[in-house]
Amino acid sequence: MADETIPRRRFLTGAAVAGAGLAAPAAAQTAAQTATPAPSAPEPPAYTTLSANEAAFFTAAADTFIPADELTPRGSDLGIVVFIDRQLGGAWGGGAKYYRGGPFPKGKPEQGPQSHLTPREMFAAGVDAVNAWTQKTYQKDFDRLDAAQRDTVLKALEAGKADLAGADPRTFFESLYQIVMEGFFADPIHGGNKGKASWAMLGFPGLPALYADKIDKWRGKAYVVPPLSIQDFS
Amino acid sequence: MVTKLKEVDAVMVGMGWTGSIMARELTKAGLNVVGLERGGDMKPSENFALPGIRDELRFSARLDMIQDASRETLTFRHRPSEHALPMRRMGSFLPGDGVGGAANHWGGQHWRYLPSDHILKTHLTNRYGAKAVPDDMTIADWSMTYDELEPFYDRFDKLCGVSGKAGNLRGQKIEGGNVFEGARASDYPTPPLKRSLSGDMFAKAAGELGYHPFPQPVSNASRPYTNSEGLTLGACQYCGFCERAGCEANAKAGPLVCVVPKLRADPKFELRTRAWVSRLIYDKPGKKVTGVLYTDTRTGEEYEQPAGLVVLSAYVFGNVGLMLYSGIGEPYDPSTGRGTVGKNYCYQLSRMGINFFFEDKDFNPFMGSPGMAMLIDDFNGDNFDHSGLGFLGGVKMSCGSGTGSPIGYHPVPPGTPRWGSEWKRATKKWYQHAANISIGGSNYANRNNFLDLDPTYKDALGRPLLRLTYNFVENDYKLVEYCIGKAEQVARAMKPTILGNPRVRRGDYDIVPYQSTHNTGGTIMGANPKESVVNRYLQSWDADNLFVMGASTFPQQTAYNPTGPVGALAYWAAEAITKQYLKSPGALVKA
């Protein structure tokens, strides 16, 4: 059970030690605690907008959706929490291209989300609400649960069977699922998908995607190459 | 304080396909033209360049090139008795923004509508009797036949370098092309795109069932092509990133590649970007518009641009909104059936189909384009006998290789968990081995589907948002049930290892998931001002010097993507203006 609480400890240790100006030992310590090391040397996490609680929550969620196995390291080691931090701290998280004129009555699902909240605010509220619910049911925050319990909680959210103080658990679940999947599959330039791990898993070649001279040659045969990303051409 | 500018001969409201084509034709005829564009300017060499253009998150997920809903969106409800709420994030459809409009991020599927689509109501009543069309299905004929529009379809084909194979050349049917298409004066400007394994498997199975497979006509040039303006398109690279992003190869036709370079070099044309037109200035007794009012979005300053001729060349919603904001024509009222502006809003029954998985086939799903597909039109329009079926209209059915970009594409068989190691293994196992037959259906007008102004919500200029009242109706559901069965029949004949669950639209219309950017209607063409907003030359019945372009003039929507006729109609209207209207300004059709 001990390793299940690593995400939070890892974050808190990293933050505290980094604050004291001792980043290198923190990195070493983190590496020692990490069950499946990331392909590159791990760095202490640094976030632009996530709080310690939020980082721990997203780490636990990313590692539940994307566990370490023979295919890829776990989600947090792929940078998915860094991805989420950048997304929520950036224009999209701040509500770019999102219409915020009131009033905000509850509509039908087919009318789309009618929230006042920006994605940043929605995730902040959602993390609090899920933790409040797991405190009630397990007396622990979500990130302190073991893997099986986290899976159970996510399934309850997905099925709309968690009590989030009036908020729709399915809406929060789908947003959480979507942003973790984006972090897993998006170009690594956004902070996730470290080492192009998900692209290698699928067999997606990434860039430059110029196939005019390949499409006939590879017809009916899997075109498998080490994937390349935006950074590789920059 | 509004600054009044010097009068120009003509002003374009929006610089997508129709504004660009019209501006080009009018400057060629000697007019001084100003193009007003709500968004910014773009240059393919800079904005669509490698490697940054291959960013699925930025373009597909975060909708970098799509209209900003925080400034301008619409409200939506299913029926007139309900309360409409804003579409707070773009979803079901994705209008563009900036010079080039939605054609910067389109997929390029390029169709001509069927001859029967052009005379739909007449055709259906002739074939099935006067009672075949239900009372609430407010469909109408187009104002010109296919044959009349053919030379203009042809001109637009030659602007775009459309790739494809003719199925009907001057009346002669050609095997391997679309035998249902109307007679073409000339073959496609470039040959069909290369074919995918999945497309060929579909074509073989469909052919063996007696259907008529053909390659998708698409505005991705299959080889370098010098267009009717002397501008050169590159060859398609099959990158799989077409949709929602620009094309670095200049192979995907769009105004920025096919027309705008000519306009930039023309002293008779002036482009003003970030110039958001808030309304037209309407002289109702004089039956004309005197110009347009716009806001410079960089400064907030307002300008009046007087013009001899105004062309509404925005997207469907922009065109309908500006008619309503300007008080031109009578707003449509579904309770009485009176009024025309906002009437016959139609959409499509899109993104339906069936996935399948072949253990022993490798499809390389990332090599392709949305237009690299094989299709059948055997169940499109009225290409099949509808007697006793209980619905009208049909679908185009296709199979090909569109995109393998992994945020959106990592198909797994039914019953796979949504996350965890088992899910990861399934994505790995099936990524190379999945394919999809998709069907997209027509959507015929209904008296309760329309556009008007919302009483509550406002856009960034303080104008009411447009309000969409829309739902699928019985005809749509029946059409879908029938046609998904046909898709399943072809899918089974392909003998996949695993057949997925059919995806169809059964419930109420949902504005959240992407379906298609093929909205139509609201300023429809027609034979008289009681039933339509514009005449057969797309000239307003209520203002002689106002012409309305684009799919907002379609009386109803087919299963096809609308850009082909949108471009053809722009050339058609331009010819009416330059050859008739400018010689003798006034109504081109007597009301």
Please tell me whether residue B324 adopts helix, strand or coil conformation. Answer: helix
Whether the CB of B70 is below 8 Å from some CB of chain A: the reply is: yes
Residue B241 near residue B372, CB atoms below 8 Å: no
Mean pLDDT of the region A26-31? 39
Residue B129 φ/ψ, nearest 5 degrees: 100, 160
Shortest CA gap A208–chain B (Å): 7
Write the DSSP assignment of B373-434 as a string of letters: EEEE-TTSTTSS--TTTS----EEEEEE-----TTT-----TT--SSSHHHHHHHHHHGGGE
- With beta carbons less than 8 A apart as the criterion, state whether A76 and B434 touch: no
pLDDT of residue A43: 61
Residue with tokens 């997905």: A158
Which residues of chain A have a CB within 8 Å of the CB of B407?
181-182, 185-186
| pLDDT of A3 | 41
Q: Is B76 on the interface with A (CB under 8 A)?
A: yes
Active-site position among B118, B212, B433, B518 = B518
The reported pLDDT for the residue numbered A32 is 40
Peptide bond into A103 cis (omega under 30): yes
Q: Using alpha carbons, select from B380, B402, B369, B358 the residue that is nearest to residue B211.
A: B380
- Cα B550 to chain center, whole Å? 9
Distance of CA B249 to the CA centre of its chain: 22
- How far is C-alpha A207 from the chain's CA centre? 23
Cβ distance B367 to A110 less than 8 Å, yes or no, reads no
B172-173/B168-169 β-pairing: antiparallel
Contacts of A173 in chain B (CB under 8 A): none
Strand spans (E) along B150-241: 168-169, 172-173, 214-215, 225-226, 232-233
pLDDT on residue A36: 52
Distance CA B343, CA B334 (A): 8
The per-residue pLDDT for A13 is 40
The answer to whether residues B402 and B243 touch, using CB atoms and an 8 Å cutoff, is yes
Angstrom distance (rounded) from CA A194 to CA B15: 40
Residues B358 and B369: their CA atoms lie apart, in Å, by: 21
Q: Residue A41: pLDDT band by 50, 70, 90 thresholds?
A: low
C-alpha B168/C-alpha B185 separation (Å) is: 9
Domains (range + CATH), chain B:
2-164+216-348+442-471+514-581 (3.50.50.60), 191-213+351-441+472-507 (3.30.410)
Nearest chain B residue to A96 by CA distance is B70
- Helix, strand or coil for residue B55? coil
Nearest to B239 among A101, A115, A211 (CB): A211
Considering only CB atoms, which chain B residues are within 8 Å of A67? 420-421
Cis omega (within 30 of 0) for bond into B513: no
Determine whether the interchain pair A101/B458 forms a contact, defined as Cβ–Cβ distance below 8 Å: yes
Å from B501 to nearest chain A CA? 21
- Does A17 score more than 90 pLDDT? no
Contacts A202 to B, Cβ<8 Å: 406, 410, 427-428, 431
Residue A4: which of A145, A105, A135, A201 has the closest Cα? Answer: A145
B57, B81, B510: best mutation site toward chain A, by most A Cβ within 10 Å? Answer: B57
Count Cα neighbours of B283 within 13 Å in the Cβ-side half-sphere.
Answer: 12
Question: Is position B105 annotated as part of the catalytic site?
Answer: no
- Predicted pLDDT at A165: 86
Residue A181 and residue B407 in contact, taking contact as beta carbons nearer than 8 Å: yes
Contact A212 B366 (CB under 8 A): no
Q: Which of A98, A108, A201 sits opposite B69 (nearest CB)?
A: A98
Q: Which residues lie closer than 8 Å to A19 by C-beta, 6 or more apart?
A: none
State the DSSP string of chain A. Answer: -GGGGHHHHHHHHHHHHHHTT-HHHHHHHHHHH-SS--SSPP-----SS--HHHHHHHHHHHHHHS--SSS---GGGGTHHHHHHHHHHSTTTTTTT----S------GGG----SS-HHHHHHHHHHHHHHHHHHHHSS-GGGS-HHHHHHHHHHHHTT-S-BTTB-HHHHHHHHHHHHHHHHHS-GGGS-SGGGHHHHHHT--BS----TTTTTTTTTS------B-GGGG-
Identify the pLDDT of residue B78: 98
Chain A residue nearest residue B364, CA to CA: A222
Q: What's residue A45's pLDDT? A: 74
Report how many Cβ contacts below 8 Å link chain A to chain B.
179
- In A, residues 173-232, which contact B (CB 8 Å cutoff)? 177, 181-182, 185-187, 189-190, 198-199, 201-212, 214-216, 218-223, 230, 232
Gap between the Cα atoms of A102 and A167, Å rounded: 19
Q: Do B238 and A96 count as a contact with CB atoms less than 8 A apart?
A: no
- CA-derived radius of gyration, chain A: 19
**Are B69 and A97 within 8 A, CB to CB?**
yes
Residue B94 in contact with partner chain A when CB distance is under 8 A: no
Q: Are B104 and B283 in contact (CB under 8 A)?
A: no
Q: What torsion, rounded to 10 degrees, do the Cα atoms B504, B505, B507, B512 define?
A: 120
Task: Please list, in sequence order, all residues whose beta carbon lies within 8 angstroms of the beta carbon of residue B485, skipping any fewer than 6 positions away.
Answer: none
Most A-contacting residue of B83, B407, B409 (CB-CB within 10 A), to test interface: B407
What pLDDT was estimated at residue A206? Answer: 98
- Secondary-structure breakdown of chain B: helix, strand, coil percentages, each rounded to the nearest 5: 25, 25, 55
C-alpha A32/C-alpha A27 separation (Å) is 9
Up-side HSE of residue B528: CA atoms within 13 Å toward CB? 2
**Residues of B numbered 210-269 whose beta carbons fall under 8 angstroms of chain A's beta carbons: which are they?**
235-241
Strands (E), B431-570: 434-441, 450-458, 464-469, 498-499, 520-522, 546-548
Backbone angles phi, psi at B10, to 5 degrees: -150, 145
CB contact under 8 A, B88 and A114: yes
Residue spans of the domains in chain A: they are 2-96+114-202, 205-234
What is the pLDDT at residue A28? Answer: 39
pLDDT value of position A40: 59
Mark yes or no for CB contact A204/B458 under 8 Å.
no
Q: How far is CA B425 from CA B229, B355, B416, in A?
A: 51, 18, 10
CB contact under 8 A, B512 and A185: no
Strand pairing class (B302-312; B8-13): parallel
Contact B235, B222 (CB under 8 A): yes
C-alpha to C-alpha distance for B586 and B543, rounded to whole angstroms: 9
The owner of tokens 């699902």 is: A109
Helix (H) / strand (E) containing B37: strand B33-37
Which residues in chain B touch residue A219, judged by CB atoms under 8 angstroms apart? 197, 364
Taking CB atoms and an 8 Å cutoff, what residues of chain B touch A151? 420
| SS3 (DSSP) at B32 | coil
Angle at CA B18, nearest 5°, toward B13 and B19? Answer: 35
- Each residue's pLDDT, cut to its tens digit, for chain B (591 residues) gives 899 999 999 999 999 999 999 999 999 999 999 999 999 999 999 999 999 999 999 999 999 999 999 999 999 999 999 999 999 999 999 999 999 999 999 999 999 999 999 999 999 999 999 999 999 999 999 999 999 999 999 999 999 999 999 999 999 999 999 999 999 999 999 999 999 999 999 999 999 999 999 999 999 999 999 999 999 999 999 999 999 999 999 999 999 999 999 999 999 999 999 999 999 999 999 999 999 999 999 999 999 999 999 999 999 999 999 999 999 999 999 999 999 999 999 999 999 999 999 999 999 999 999 999 999 999 999 999 999 999 999 999 999 999 999 999 999 999 999 999 999 999 999 999 999 999 999 999 999 999 999 999 999 999 999 999 999 999 999 999 999 999 999 999 999 999 999 999 889 999 999 999 999 999 999 999 999 999 999 999 999 999 999 999 999 999 999 999 999 999 999 999 999 999 999 999 998
Chain A residue nearest residue B68, CA to CA? A97
Contacts of B235 in chain A (CB under 8 A): 212
Residue A31 pLDDT > 50, yes or no?
A: no
Name the residue facing B512 among A112, A216, A230 (closest C-beta).
A112
Buried b (16+ CB within 10 A) or exposed e, B330-360: bbbebeeeebbbbbbbbbbbbebbbbbbbee
Residue of A nearest to B72 (CA): A99
Give the model's pLDDT for residue B376. Answer: 98
Q: How many helices (H) and strands (E) would you count in chain B?
A: 13, 24
Q: Do A204 and B77 make contact, defined as CB atoms within 8 angstroms? A: no
Which residues in chain B are closer than 8 Å to A100, comparing Cβ atoms? 70, 88
A218–chain B nearest CA distance, Å: 8
Q: How close B332 gets to chain A, by Cα (Å)? A: 23
